[in-house]
Structure 1
Amino acid sequence: MRAHSRDFASHILPSSPPSPGVLCAFGDAITSLRHEVGRTHICKLADVKASDIIDTCKSLASQASEVLEKQGIIPSRQRHTFEADMRYSGQALSLPVGFSLKALEEDGLHVLERSFTALHHSLFTYSLDLHVEIINLRSRVEEVSEEIILKDLAKSDEGGIPSAEALTGRTQIYWNGTTYTEVPIWERTALRDGDHIAGPAIITEMDSNTIVMPDHRAEVDRFGNILLWPTDSAGVRAEDNQKVVTELVEAALANARLEMDALILRSALSPAMREQLDYFPMISAGSGPNDGKMVIGQFGSYIQHFLRIWKGTIEEGDVFLTNDPYDVQGGISHLNDMLVMLPVYHNGKRVAWTANQGHFTDVGGQSPGSLPINGRTIFEDGIQIPLSKLYDRGKLNEALVNVICRNSRTPDFSRADLHALVAACRIAGQRVTEMCTRFGTEAFETALNDLLDRNKIAFAQLLKTSIPARRMTFSDWMDDDGTGMGPWKVSCTMFKEPLEDGSGERLRLDASTDPQAESSVNWLTTWKMRSSAYLIKALDPSITLNDGAYDLMDVRIPLGTLLNPVRPAALSCRTHLLGRTLDLILGLIGQRQPRFMTAAGFSDSPHLFYSGWRADGTWFQLYQIGFGGVPGRPVGDGLDGHSMFPSMKTVPNEFLELYFPLRIEHYSTIPDSGGAGLHRGGNGVRIDYCFLRAGELSIHDDRWLTKPWGVNGGEPGARSSKTLVRASDGARISLPSKADFIAVREGDVLEWCTWGGGGYGAPYARPAEIVAREVREGLVTRDGALRYGVALTDALEVEAGATANLRAEMIAQMAAKGREEGAFEINRGGTLAEIFERCEEETGLLPPRLPSGRTLRGPAAGLEHIVALHARRQAEDREEFGNNYERYAGLAAESAGGAVGAGGGRRCC
């Protein structure tokens, strides 16, 4: 470990340059004057002439040169260079490419394209056969200055002992609990190249002092820098050194993950990945019992399942690819999620895995965007890529890439995004090998194991202190499946049980849902991963999220249900269930834990697709995710207009209007859409899309029927809605929450409204001044203030007397209903039966058909436990709906030719 410690120290201990206090002055003295002038010049290389670029550059050079001449720098002492900011058409960020006017004049624009391609390949490990465009042009002029030559120090005598003249005195110091006497003081200017100084010692100079710590030594290089090293007697214990290494590895892994993010952002083409950041990097352990376990990431590891089922070889240079959720046990959730996995080797040993999954805009299938609502099997969702080698020992499988691109309506997006995912994995792999070189392979692997163990220990403590012993059960619903059937029940029971070896407890989650759907809303869940991630972040955000807690969780979901469907069940529209399980966990942990008792929030990731043909005959296809209201919480209000996944961002309106034939006519929060409460639910968002070309829409959303529930007296949030306004006659058409192939014409407008979060606590307890302020800010309407018992003046100030009377009435009403302040109470806006009765009046849509009324079909229909489950759900719905059961189950409607169930999504308009 001594040798390892020295190597470790060489990377973290400082070197001290001579006269650090005067470095700024020295730098100023040798810095030459420079000026640059730039101009935005957006064009594809294919659409511009070299002469145009040359003329623009000469004009910029003239402007820059004029500035230096005013500073007294004559043209003969000026040096000119030129740069173009370039990118593949559609990329988010550009690369600066240097060039000379002479090369441009001789070789034309090819010199720019070749230089950009080479730079892109060197940075991101790949290049593309796509249009290259210029964004900016720059001319830089710099003063030609004299070369500065640094003088080497005189050589030290043999043995590296400083000269007697360098010793200026001795002193006493107190260091780390020990007093040291006769500590030498050395004059830095008298030291020579190769001098060695043992600590403790002080090296002094005009503007600063350098201390050489005990058990360390200093070495002077030929430029006078002081290099500090630990000595063999430094006394660092191996376990202490490992603790430091573990902390450094944790930080380095986090930075590597951020590098993966940055690379995707810079190089991906699709709006989904480059703008909304719909990708999820991961780094996992690569050997031993923790092989494949996620150490840094967001959604947990799928690699352990891959290792169990993969029958081929795993070698250095391999890159694995799949988009089949069944192949990785739900590690990805639908075919649009393309998953790349890369084994990382150091000195011939596999030490880690890097992986990345990203949402591809299109992978074929029935509908543009590859999320067909009416898909009955996964075959209709799009192309399935079984676990395959994208790279075999470093060689790209071009045929596989071509198959993926040929089966996509957006092949350029697919090719660029696939290479971007691989490049991100490679940059993380490079960082891992650097850590192994720096710390040693054994220390690196020990650090990964320590990080996983730390998570397990922390989760075990959470089980003791934050999870009640009593069983807790909670249920919620997904409104419909897009074919007019719903709502679909999801329920979970959570409790603790002892481990078999008696060493502690584990968390047990028993999920129960309706039998799997014949449509595409099934979700092959990674419930353990998502529930552990949420529990850890909710209960103790300081704990690093990884797979260490998995050993202390047991999740059981019956085969053939919505969350554990049997192949080939369709999975493309799984988002609605994926999000609704978050509300389910909120309801579970909040029942017995007041500090975690939140309302229901924006538990979905609504999708909008707009596609068609431009006037020039090229295909356009937009995929965008909607944002909504975060729930009211014990600690405060919910956020307005937030994503379900914290890392995602909205696509800028400027980007949409630049690259797609549409105009954003309205973009705002929706007042009053957040549930009223002591802490208001976050508001939803309204976006009005005006379509400038005829095309088709697909819509994926939820919470149009059931409301995001409020808690502890808080009101539910507002529902979502989608309205199409026809340009031809102004007709307003209420759209279902899930629908494909909605025809739009030029000038039609879609009013896209997402839902708000539920409120927390009694609305009358919210400070009246806050309500008044939010009315002035447009977050709450004047009528909406009455929900809080707040009356306002014409100046939108609180009217104290009327407010006091209103609130007294609200308090009396709560007391009359027997509500207990602070008790866990859910406000869904009524029972399911009541919501069904009011559905058409409140939404403009007919209620869906109950899934319990269907005849089971498909591969799960013959499973005994599914037959029993279906019968139990029928009994529950009959009790809920009473005499109206057959009507809402669709049985009466089918026999009478009725239209119950039209509220679900379908091909329409």
Structure 2
Amino acid sequence: MNKPDLSLEELADANKSEFDRLFATQMALGTPIATGGAAQTLTSPHLTEKVTDNAPSAVGPHITTLLTDTYAKAWSYEIVEHNVEPGEVRVLCRLTAMGQTRMQFGTAVNDGNIGIALQRATDDALARCHADLAPNTHADFVSAHGHQSTPQVPGPGPTDALRQSEHISRVRKANTRAGDDVEKSVPYIVETALRSARGEMEIVLVRSAMSSGIRLQRDAGTMIADANGHLLVGHTETDLPKMLRASMPDLAPGDVILHSDPYSPGGAGGHLNDWAVVTPIFLGTRLVGFSSAYGHMTDIGSESLGSNSVTTHSIFGEGLRVPPIKLYNNGKLNHEALAILASNTRAPAANHNDLMTLVAATKIGEARVLELCARFGEQSYTRASEILLEQAHQVMRAIIPKYFPIEPQSFEDYVDDDGCGNGPFRLKVTIWREEDKAYLDWTGTDAQAFGPINLHLQESTLQNLVSRYLLRRIDPEMEPSGGGNSLFDITLPEGSLINAAFPAALGSRRHVLGRLRDVINGVFSHSADSLVVAAGESNQGLLTFIPEDATQGIALTETHFGAVPARSTADGIDGPSWEHTTKLYSVEAMEHQAPVRVDSRRCIPDSGGAGSFRGGNGVATTYQFTAPGALSIQDDRQTGQPWGIFGGRPGSCSEKSLTTKNGERRTLAPKVDRLPVYSGDKLLYAGPGTGGWGDPLRRPVEAVQKDVARGLTTIVSAKEYYGVVIDSDTGTIHVEETEALRRRLLGSPGKRSHFDFGKKTATES
């Protein structure tokens, strides 16, 4: 394994707002020894900065804190080597404690933020080393809770056993809270291992899938649950306990469940294209958990290629519905079910491959859970899972009184239209708390739409979403689990836009789901202003191009994003998806797959709302079609701007236009179904920007100057919104004019609004 040196450009591209910390982390990898107890101090001549204390904790106490509690100052670690790949970061660590040494690999998913991925992989390696140094801690852990367990893995040799016995004796003498250490150690190791397992599952999905939706855009996800179906790590839109009670009471080893119907008990994905696979995990004949994966299928039938019609008004027009069925029964593949699935798609090979990829991903999760049971014992693993859920419950009990108000407070936002000429549609939520119980009441949300923008939300899905929202803003490394769900009381009015009644169409639910996140964010702005961000693009537009002649290429389906909004500590990020794992399609892959040419893909200057922290700019793509075909678009935020907050200005709206090869230009509606296009026609698809945070006149003039130099803000906007006068020839700041202009603008009458929705919208009607 090599030890590559990442360039500064690579680090900066990973996440520009994290540049300094990423650089410090990279420098730390060149420092051989980190002494126990104290934070690692860099000895580079260029930096003298402590990085361990600044690194975010993965879950609960950081592993270095755990090691210090266990070994006092008698430990150190060395990063021997590391390897960074597009999907995974791998680190080899050497841990020395109490005179003993262990080496282990640690892995983490590379989600683009290399510094955090390196820290996660290091934490994983240290946790594994710690487990090897004290392999018998699981027995103490079980005994502390009234259980007994026999290890199911081969024990160490006589010499190693003696050394380990002496080591544990020294640890107990040095720390009288051995039971507490074990209490912390095993759940931490289990959760770290589960997070790593989830990462492996996602790597299998991305690398093995055939369809571009999963392989290139990562429209997929994984999760691991306990034996009751409660979420431990990952993400799901299924209420697994409800689904199991209603549809799968007789599970056995070797079973694998497939489902896709949002209207079945417990639901599935948000729409029919999302297929979910669930594998029950048995240790012998005893159920110990569940492993699940979902992914967006290329085509599931219906009138529309890709099964994403903009104008469908019933789920019966959206493709094949799959209630919970056993794809594998006692290990035997259900070939009859496969035949039905293959008969209801225009892409049987891609769907079959992706379905088997989902199964393979769940088998990775199953194998890793069984390894944990073998390593620590079944009862230790079960108790560790219980503690993780209990910890999540305790964390949420502490968060709710801090961020939920006693008096009810409300917020609302709007979706432009439903694709069938109706709209706008309102989403409204009211929140409050009673002691440590949190209430979210969506009464006031409009009735379900005629078009396919509806949601059929499971209560558990919204509970997980709110948990994720709160935890990620307090600690970006914390993963929500199902432990705190019982503390949320959710009211979802039946027949509403977010709890549509059967058989309402759901295929374009992405717009309502995105706006729902903005509404949750907005309602917390009065009670938790330090947590909230401005409005995001909250949209995930979808472009589908279907060639007239199938021999000239297959359908192109691309998801579009706006940007990440501004927050209280940093600017928004230009271009990427905010709350999703999906990403923009590779231009090279797109042009290879379909008869299109991408003339340009660029950041849109001034599209991010002005603020003391600037909103993220949207992305504009110009496509030129090289063959005739049909075009469909599902988009939003074309009339309602992403709002700014605390004096910040709103982001720009999205825009779509078609220019024929003869030069005639027409503006397109946000939702278009099967529009004929011809060779030489050009489509401009401009995504929305995101809202700004805080008064633009408080933004440092140097930051405005840098934005202008980078092409993110124009000279005109710098003067109009930020009060900064910049020379158009030299790019220098006219200091005296700037100071005078800012004094005048700051002294002008007019109150800064809590929200700035921009031009007149339904919220002001």
TM-score higher than 0.5 here? yes
Report deviation, 1:613.
4.8
**Are the counterparts in 2 of residues 466 and 539 from structure 1 also a CA contact under 8 Å?**
no
Shift in alpha-carbon separation, 1:542–1:665, aligned structure 2, 3 A: closer
Answering whether residue 458 of structure 2 is matched by residue 495 of structure 1, we say no
**Aligned residues of 1:613 and 1:620 also touching (Cα < 8 A):** no
User: What does residue 780 of structure 1 align with?
Assistant: 713
Map of 2:703 onto structure 1 = 770
Q: Which runs of 5+ in 1 are unaligned?
A: 1-23, 25-174, 179-199, 204-211, 499-503, 836-879, 882-909
**Could you tell me whether the CA contact under 8 Å between 2:238 and 2:269 is conserved in 1?**
no
Matched, 1:334 2:266: no
| Structure 1 residues 259 and 202, CA gap change in structure 2 (3 angstroms) | closer
Contact 1:335–1:381 (CA under 8 A) maintained in structure 2: yes
Query: Are 1:522 and 2:454 matched, yes or no?
Result: yes
Alpha-carbon distance change, 588 to 568 in structure 1, aligned in 2, over 3 angstroms:
same
Residue 147 of structure 1 corresponds to which residue in structure 2? none
Q: Is the 8 A contact 2:553 2:595 kept in 1?
A: no
Cα separation, 2, equivalents of 1:238 and 1:301? 37
Matching residue's letter, 1:749: K
Matched, 1:347 2:284: yes
| Aligned partner (choices 627, 642, 666) of residue 576 of structure 2 | 642
**Other-structure match for 1:382:** 319
Deviations 1:341-360 (A, max 9, x none): 11000121010100111111
Residue of structure 2 in register with 1:251 after alignment: 192
Q: Which residue of 2 aligns with 1:665?
A: 599
Matched, 1:731 2:664: yes
Unpaired stretches in structure 2, ≥5 consecutive residues: 2-69, 74-97, 102-131, 137-154, 173-177
Q: Which amino acid aligns with 2:709?
A: R
Find the counterpart in structure 1 of residue 688 from structure 2.
755
Which of residues 512, 517, 534 in structure 1 aligns to 2:444? 512
Correspondent of 1:675 among 609, 628, 631: 609
- SS state at 1:595 partner: coil
Q: How does 1:35-434 map to 2 (within 5 A)?
A: 228-230=163-165, 234=169, 240-286=181-227, 291-299=228-236, 302-310=239-247, 313-434=250-371
SS at match of 1:743: strand
Equivalent of residue 702 in structure 1, options 636, 639, 645: 636
Q: Are residues 655 and 363 of structure 1, via their aligned partners in 2, closer, same or farther at CA, if it must alter by over 3 Å?
A: same
Residue 812 in structure 1 maps to residue 747 in structure 2: yes
- Equivalent residue letter for 1:715: R
Distance 1:220 1:325, change over 3 A: closer
8 Å contact from structure 1 (residues 293, 301) kept in 2: no
Distance across 2 between alignment mates of 1:541 and 1:659: 36
Moved over 4 A (4+): 175-178, 200-203, 212-216, 219-222, 224-228, 231-240
CA distance in 2, matches of 1:271, 1:588: 36
- In structure 2, give the amino acid aligned to 1:586: N
Distance 1:331 1:201, change over 3 A: closer
Q: Which residue does 1:482 correspond to in 2?
A: 419
Q: Residue 791 in 1 paired to residue 725 in 2?
A: yes
Query: Kindly tell me: are residues 292 and 213 of structure 1, through their superposed partners in 2, closer, same or farther at Cα, counting changes over 3 Å?
Result: closer
Question: Are residues 630 and 248 of structure 1, via their aligned partners in 2, closer, same or farther at CA, if it must alter by over 3 Å?
Answer: same
CA distance in 2, matches of 1:215, 1:356: 31
| Counterparts of 2:322 and 2:671, CA distance in 1 | 27
Quote the offset at 1:804 in angstroms: 2.2
Asked if the contact 2:230/2:240 (under 8 Å) is kept, the reply is yes
Aligned partner of 1:541 in structure 2 is 476
TM-score computed with the length of structure 2 as normaliser: 0.76
Give the drift of 1:747: 1.7
Cα distance in 1 for partners of 2:604, 2:468 equals 30
Residue-by-residue CA offset, 1:396-430 (whole Å, 9 max, x unaligned):
11222222222112222211111100000001101
| Contact kept? 2:268, 2:274, Cα under 8 Å | no
CA distances 1:496-527 after superposition (whole Å, capped 9, x unpaired): 024xxxxx433444443111112111111232
Cα–Cα, structure 1 residues 385 and 685, in superposed 2: closer, same or farther, change >3 Å?
same
C-alpha deviations, 1:702-758, integer Å up to 9, x for none? 00001111112211100000111111x111111111111011111211111000011
Per-residue deviation, 1:298? 2.6
How far did residue 542 of structure 1 move? 4.7
Q: Secondary structure at the match of 1:253?
A: helix
Structure 2 partner of 1:861: none
Distance 1:233 1:641 in 2: 52
CA distance in 1, matches of 2:71, 2:586: 55
Q: Is residue 2:403 matched to residue 1:469?
A: no
Q: Call closer, same or farther: CA 1:364–1:644 in 2, change over 3 Å.
A: farther
**Inter-partner Cα distance in structure 1 for 2:196 and 2:559:** 27
The partner residue of 1:826 within 738, 755, 758 is 755
Whether contact under 8 Å (1:220, 1:227) holds in the other structure is: no
In the TM superposition, residue 644 of structure 1 has moved relative to its aligned partner by 3.2
Once the 2 structures are TM-superposed, how far is the Cα of residue 464 of structure 1 from its aligned partner?
A: 2.4
Quote the Cα distance in structure 2 between the aligned partners of 1:521 and 1:215. Answer: 53
* Contact 2:134–2:168 (CA under 8 A) maintained in structure 1: no
Instruction: Give the distance between the partners of 2:220 and 2:626, measured in 1 at CA.
Output: 30
Q: What is the distance in 1 between the residues matched to 2:615 and 2:226?
A: 40
Amino acid at match of 1:533: R
The separation in 2 between residues aligned to 1:656 and 1:586, in whole angstroms, is: 34
CA contact under 8 A between 1:477 and 1:487: conserved in structure 2? yes
Q: Give the whole-Å Cα distance in 2 for the aligned partners of 1:262 and 1:795.
A: 48
Decide whether aligned partners of structure 1 residues 542 and 461 sit closer, same or farther in structure 2, where only a CA change above 3 A counts: farther
Equivalent-residue separation in structure 1 for 2:696 and 2:242 (angstroms): 48
Cα separation, 1, equivalents of 2:594 and 2:313: 31
Q: Residues 209-231 of structure 1: CA distance to partner in whole angstroms, max 9, x if unpaired?
A: xxx99999xx9989x99994336
Counterpart CA distance in 2 for 1:580 and 1:437 is 45
Q: In 2, Cα distance between the equivalents of 1:269 and 1:601?
A: 31
1:646 Cα deviation after fit:
4.3
Distance 1:214 1:510 in 2: 50
Aligned length: 616
TM superposition shift of 1:201? 9.9
- Corresponding residue for residue 719 of structure 1: 653
TM-superposition CA deviations, 1:366-390 (whole Å, max 9, x none) = 2112121211110001111111111
Query: Is residue 585 from structure 1 mapped to residue 520 from structure 2 by the alignment?
Result: yes
Partner Cα separation in structure 1 for residue 156 and residue 418 of structure 2: 73
Deviations 1:683-703 (A, max 9, x none): 000111111221111111100
The 2-side partners of 1:424 and 1:518 are apart by 37
Counterpart residue type for residue 202 of structure 2: D
Contact 1:201/1:213 (8 A) holds in 2: no
1:591 Cα offset (Å): 1.5
In the alignment, the residues of structure 1 paired with residue 731 and residue 654 of structure 2 have an alpha-carbon distance, to the nearest angstrom, of 28
Cα distance in 2 between the residues matched to 1:818 and 1:784: 20
Paired with 1:449 and 1:535, the residues of 2 have a C-alpha distance of: 22
Using the alignment, how far apart are the partners of 1:369 and 1:538 within structure 2? 36
Match of 1:166 in 2: none
Rg larger in structure: 1
Residue 802 of structure 1 deviates from its aligned partner by 2.2
Deviations 1:800-833 (A, max 9, x none): 22222322332133xx2244xxxx6111114436
Instruction: From the superposition, tell whether residues 177 and 425 of structure 1 become closer, same or farther in structure 2 (CA, over 3 Å).
Output: closer
